[in-house]
Amino acid sequence: MRQKRLLHILFLLLLLPVGLFAQQDEKPTPKAQRHRDAMIAAEDADTTVVNDTTGLASRPLVVPDSVLVDSVSRFDANKVWIPDPNKAVWLATLFPGAGQIYNRKYWKLPIYYGGFVACTYALTWNSRMYKDYSQAYLDIMDSDPRTNSFMDFLPPGYDASSEAIQNQLKNTFKNKKDYYRKYRDLSIFAFVGVYLLSIIDAYVDAELSNFDISQDLSMGISPAVIDDNVSRKNAYGVQYVLTF
């Protein structure tokens, strides 16, 4: 009888750990339970959307990628335009005014195109006048009576047969020829100058596009007391304060 009781007690002691482990699996600790509840609530919040009108839960709303791309593009469009100086130089070199278009400084286009038009007109006018006076000078210098294009510059019925008038006309045509040749060359230099200026302006404009021009850049003038360590006396003056 006593042996049966001892065996019964030993059997109960063996079953006790198994029951404890089963209890732990069925009922987690309060900390684990709170963690599990929080995870379930987060999953429910991510996968369930409540309808504002009916109050019923519906399937999650899937946002297409195009909407995200459009929002990013709109955000980028609001940024300040910062052009590339090298690209601005290349565009201005290949086509006059393209650098200003790339920098979005459209108000400069009439200035440079007006300069190109003025230089082109001056070059065309001076070249034509130089050609005409050069031919007149060559005709009056030779002895062939058939080459008399210089007579087109004289009034009708003008007598240019005397030697004195001939010498005077030669000097006049020579001076006019040199005069228009000079301004023809200046027109070429002016055209090249406007072209180079448009390139330099495009580069400088693109380089200084992100230069700080806010109100933090300032200069202040105020009186100051200067301590002279040599004479041990204070000197009074004006100080300039640059803020940048």
- 42 compared with 201, residue with greater pLDDT: 201
Q: What is the mean pLDDT of residues 183-187?
A: 96
Domain edges within the chain = 2-49, 85-207
| H or E stretch at 164 | helix 163-207
> Would the pLDDT of 118 be above 90?
yes
Residue 33 scores a pLDDT above 80: no
Report pLDDT for 54.
46
Cα 92 to chain centroid distance, Å, stands at 13
- Beta-carbon count within 10 A of 88 CB: 25
User: How confident is the model over 153-174, as pLDDT tens digits?
Assistant: 888 777 777 778 888 888 998 9
Structure tokens at 79: 């940024």
The span from the CA of 200 to the CA of 207, in Å, is 10
CA distance 242 to 105: 30
What pLDDT was estimated at residue 23?
46
Q: Is 80 helix (H, G, I), strand (E, B) or coil?
A: coil
C-alpha dist (Å) from residue 2 to 12, 116, 131: 16, 125, 144
Collapse the DSSP code of 235 into the 3-class scheme (helix H, G, I; strand E, B; otherwise coil) and give the result. Answer: strand
* For the chain, percent of residues with pLDDT exceeding 90: 35
pTM of the model: 0.54
Per-residue pLDDT at 78 exceeds 80: no
